[in-house]
A = this chain, B = another copy of it.
Amino acid sequence: MTTSDILEQGNPATDGRAFRRCLGQFATGVTVMTAQHGEVRAGMAVNSFAALSLEPPLVLWSIRCASGSLPVFTQADHFAVNVLAGDQVELANRFAASGIDKFGTTPWTPGATGSPVLGGTVATLECAREQVLEGGDHLIIVGRVLHFTRSAGEPLLFAQGRYALSQDHPAALREVPKPAAPDTGADWSLLRLLHFASHEMSAAFDAKRRAAGLTVGQFRIYGWLRDQPRTLAQLERLAFLGNQNANDSLADLVDRGHVVRGMDGRYALTEQGHVAAVASGQRVQRFEEQVFRGLAPDDIEATRRVLGALMQRAGAGTAPPERRAA
């Protein structure tokens, strides 16, 4: 590792914002923890979940001591871990917020042990609370898994402060031996090429963004503030950012004099911020121009046709019917 790879370092006690960004380098899934005590239900988005033990089957997660949901989770004998699917970002946002009715607008059923079980997830773990341990400003909750359910779908990720999906490692595809089929081998490599090209272009753009001194959070917030002021909650949702990342990114931009918080609680670009936001947009354009420069316009149009057709076919959930065969 060369020193130039280091983005920031320090003591967590003196730079909390940078420390949180550093913790965000460890990617996680997203869970919603649910419990019911008497008539009171609690649900909160949590990414500090971890498997703990197989025999006995234990899992753990942690909850802020100051959390309003703490009493329910420490009083109820049971809780459920709902592992969110890739298409449940809105649900994640809802359960990350406070002061709103979370269960009223969410499909759920009571689980075998009484904890609310959310629909559409990729996994549910119904647990008995086994232990509560102290851990600084959080409590560690250990649960014994009584019943598990695994459902189809891809998991939602939270990585580097934003919601994301996982993709197969390109290197894993690189090495899969081709099926022995000379007539279609060419097509298969186009699918692999698609996967690779997509990953490489994202990485190249990320490098450009980083070279411009912008985090993803800042980059996306510039984009969403360009046309109008917005609230923190709106920015989180539109930019697929976690609350802490949205908060910290805004704080950075406020420190920089690029964003101000209005009386109505909405954030707006300053004149200087508007210049930076426009420059950020132009960076995207320049990247595109460079990437496609020198390629034949006919080839680009053909690529657009092919990708558009692939998307339609995949999106419809089925490949085209057999009878269309040549």
Contacts and interface: CB of A to CB of B under 8 A. Distances in A.
B223 A57 contact: no
Contacts of A12: 54, 57, 145-146, 148
Which residue, of A123, A153, A202, has the highest number of chain B Cβ atoms within 10 A? A202
Contact of A154 (B179, B206, B294): B206
Contacts of A86: 169
A306 B228 CA distance: 36
A70 interface: no
A149 interface: yes
A232 to B, nearest CB: 17
B149 A155 contact: no
A121 B164 CA distance: 20
A151 B160 CA distance: 12
A23 B60 CA distance: 12
Given A54-B19, A150-B6, A226-B177, A239 B319 contact: no
Given A172-B239, A303-B302, A288 B50 contact: no
A51 interface: yes
A62 B48 contact: no
A28 interface: yes
A13 B128 CA distance: 14
The complex is assembled from copies of this chain, and their number is 2
Give the contact-size bracket for chain A: 35 or more
B291 A166 contact: no
Nearest to A123: B25
Contact of A191 (B193, B201, B226): B201
B150 A289 contact: no
Nearest to A81: B26
Given A170-B165, A193-B308, A50 B50 contact: yes
Contacts of A201: 191, 194-195, 310, 314
> In the complex, which of the residues A12, A28, A61 has the most CB atoms of chain B within 10 Å of its own CB atom?
A12
A37 to B, nearest CB: 24
Interface string A312-326: 011101011010111
